[in-house]
Structures are given as C-alpha cells and as structure tokens.
C-alpha cells in the first residue's frame, strides 16, 4: 500500500502492478549545496495522462451501457388522413370501376 497526497492530506492507495512514472525527469541543473535540483518532471504528467485515459474509458462505457438500457422510443402511428382525402379516394375508385 502506498500513500498519495490530495490537498495536502495523505490518502492510502493500492498499486496493482501499476508502473510509476513519477520519478522520470529531465535534469536541467544538478543540486549544488542548498540549491535544489532543477528538473522537468514529465513522469507525473504521464501518470496523469494514463489515469485520465482510464477514467475517460470507464465513463464512456458507463454512458454506452446506460444508452443501451434505455428503451427505444416507439414510433407513433401515422395519423389518419383527413376525411376529405378519404372521400376523394372513394370518388377516384368509383370512377375507375365505372369505366
């Protein structure tokens, strides 16, 4: 079990075979006396990218699952044609049968 910090508080987390890139850095200037080392810590950025990708994938899968569970909206039946249109069809059919 390792400890991570969030807002200055240490939180217990469990590493499950997860690689830790936090120690990866490009040193720009070595530590001299009381002056600390100057470096670009790109490993922390890689850790955050991996975490973001995992969380984004999980949220995507949750939304996808919720959408598949949602019932498909049933199509409304077509409204009946107006009475005048029905009368015109009857007249047309009568004229066709008359000839």
What's the confidence (pLDDT) of residue 11? 57
User: How far is it, in rounded angstroms, from Cα 20 to Cα 13?
Assistant: 13
Query: What six digits make up the tokens of 26?
Result: 């490009």
Report the pLDDT value the prediction gives residue 93, as an integer from 0 to 100: 92
pLDDT along the chain (99 residues), means of 10: 57 62 87 91 90 96 87 69 90 88
Mention every residue, 6+ apart, whose C-beta is less than 8 A from residue 27.
Answer: 37, 38, 39
In sequence order, what are the beta bridge partners of 6? 9
Pairing of strands 26-29, 38-40: antiparallel
Residue 39, H or E segment: strand 38-40
pLDDT of residue 16: 58
CA pseudo-torsion sign 45, 47, 48, 53: positive
Q: How far apart are CA 16 and CA 18, in angstroms?
A: 5
Question: What DSSP assignment string belongs to 48-75?
Answer: HHHHHHHHHHHHHHHHHHHHHHSPPPPP
């Amino acid at each position: 079990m390792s400890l991570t910090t969030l807002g200055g508080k240490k939180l217990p987390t469990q590493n499950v075979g997860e690689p830790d890139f936090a120690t990866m850095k490009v040193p720009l200037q070595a530590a001299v006396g009381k002056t600390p080392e100057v470096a670009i810590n790109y490993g922390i950025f890689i850790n955050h990218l991996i975490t973001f990708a995992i969380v984004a994938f999980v949220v995507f899968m949750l939304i996808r699952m919720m959408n598949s569970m949602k019932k498909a909206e049933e199509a409304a039946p077509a409204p009946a044609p107006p009475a005048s249109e029905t009368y015109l069809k009857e007249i047309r059919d009568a004229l066709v049968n008359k000839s």
